[in-house]
Amino acid sequence: MGDNRSRNYYEDLEVSPRACDAVIKAAHRVLVQLHHPDKVTDPVSKAAAEERTKALNSARDELLDPVKRAAYDLQRAQERRQRPGPSQPPPNPNPPPAGQRGRQPGGGFGSLRCERCGRTFKTAGGLEWHRTNFRNCA
């Protein structure tokens, strides 16, 4: 029974964690009909179908009992909190000098450059404003 706790019952029944009892019952019914061992003739597949049916029954029993479901949801929430988040990229071993942090390779903070004077801008609006107000920029 210890490995049953590591299963995701919602994934087994292919339902949302917010699914109501009626949806859980319907999903269980459909999946058991699809994976029922009596519908399989191959002995290897029959054993797999029996395991799948047992997993579906276990998931249904756990999720339809309000007390068991609340405990299961609490356990899942605690496991999610304990899991490490997405890994952060490693720090840059050669950081840029203090005055240039955050700048783009083209210079300045943006990648838009005035073709006349070479000044860089963050936004296209800033570049457009510069072009209209400084027609004679050098």
> Which CATH number is 74's domain given?
1.10.287.110
The 3-state DSSP class for residue 35 equals: helix
**pLDDT average, residue stretch 57-63:** 95
Residue listed under structure tokens 């838009």: 112
What are 62's two structure tokens?
């756990």
| 74-105 pLDDT, tens digit each | 999 888 887 766 666 666 676 655 555 554 45
Q: Within this chain, do residues 75 and 123 fall inside the same structural domain, yes or no?
A: no
Residue-range definition of the domain harbouring residue 127: 105-133
Q: Within this chain, do residues 78 and 116 fall inside the same structural domain, yes or no?
A: no
**How far is residue 127's CA from residue 55's CA, in Å, rounded to a whole number?**
62
**How far is residue 107's CA from residue 120's CA, in Å, rounded to a whole number?**
7
- Residue 29's closest CA among 47, 46, 15, 48? 15
The dihedral built from the CA positions of residue 36, 38, 40 and 42, taken in this order, carries a sign that is positive
What are 104's two structure tokens?
């783009």
Q: Within this chain, do residues 70 and 115 fall inside the same structural domain, yes or no?
A: no
Total number of domains constituting the chain: 2
Band (2; pLDDT cuts 50, 70, 90)? very low
